């Protein structure tokens, strides 16, 4: 059972969104080729789905500006612009993404007291989203993942997949992903590789 996990390919993380990843929209055609390839038995997607006033937003902290470090529930937290607020255009999947082919959507980041980069659990690792249980129930043996952003939500999702889905082959599709910071992307890829995630291209994935 081979699954494709599309991570946060949303308007908010593409140019024109509230927290755009450089060239984030360029992955959409690649993701669509993967979706439409027929290579995957199951297509799942994560969706950042924050309540208004989420604690990771700089606007929720007096005097804080986006991209400054702050505190959330007693732990260091990057302060982000308001983004992917539930039921807003910013939170919707990119309009060109073949989202009608997605079999299961895992929303995340709904607890205002903790951020959630990974599609599998909150950042404090105390609350699971349920995605791992869903993939296990479906009998997934291979998981390819890609999306936005490589150095945040994609990396943490890949590392959690390795830990929470023992025995499942995990691959990161590099050209169907984009990151925020080039140095951070390199570090993220090195960390994923060290933890046993295979780094592949979409051509490799579709071979």
* Given 14, 108, 115, 122, the catalytic residue: 108
Here the tokens at position 25 are 């929209």
- E strand segments, 37-103: 42-48, 69-72, 75-78
8 assigned to active site? yes
> 63, 62, 67, 61: which is closest to 81 by C-alpha?
67
Query: Is 176:202 a contact under the CB 8 Å cutoff?
Result: yes
Phi then psi for 14, rounded to 5 degrees? Answer: -110, 160
CB atoms inside a 10 Å sphere around CB 91: 22
CA distances from 9 to 40, 44, 57, 97, 191 (A): 18, 12, 20, 8, 22
151 assigned to active site? no
* Given 8, 48, 90, 144, the catalytic residue: 8
Q: Where do we find the tokens 């609350």?
A: 127
* Given 90, 153, 155, 160, the catalytic residue: 153
155 assigned to active site? no
Q: Which residues are catalytic?
A: 8, 108, 153
């Amino acid at each position: 059972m081979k699954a494709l996990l599309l991570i946060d390919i949303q308007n908010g993380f593409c140019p024109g969104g509230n927290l755009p990843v450089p060239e984030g929209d360029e992955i959409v055609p690649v993701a669509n080729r993967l979706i439409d390839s027929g290579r995957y038995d199951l297509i799942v997607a994560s969706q950042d789905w924050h309540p208004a006033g989420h604690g990771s937003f700089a606007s929720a902290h007096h005097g804080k500006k986006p991209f400054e470090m702050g505190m959330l529930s007693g732990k260091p937290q990057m302060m982000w612009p308001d983004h992917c607020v539930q039921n807003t255009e910013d939170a919707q999947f990119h309009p060109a993404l073949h989202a009608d082919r997605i079999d299961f959507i895992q929303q995340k980041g709904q607890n205002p007291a903790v951020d959630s980069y990974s599609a599998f659990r909150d950042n404090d690792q105390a609350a699971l989203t349920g995605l791992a249980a869903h993939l296990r129930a479906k009998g997934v043996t291979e998981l390819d993942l890609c999306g936005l952003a490589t150095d945040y939500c994609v990396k943490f999702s890949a590392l959690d997949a390795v830990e929470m889905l023992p025995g499942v082959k995990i691959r990161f599709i590099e050209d169907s992903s984009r990151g925020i910071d080039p140095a951070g992307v390199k570090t993220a890829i090195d960390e994923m590789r060290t933890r046993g995630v295979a780094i592949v291209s979409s051509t490799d994935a579709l071979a």
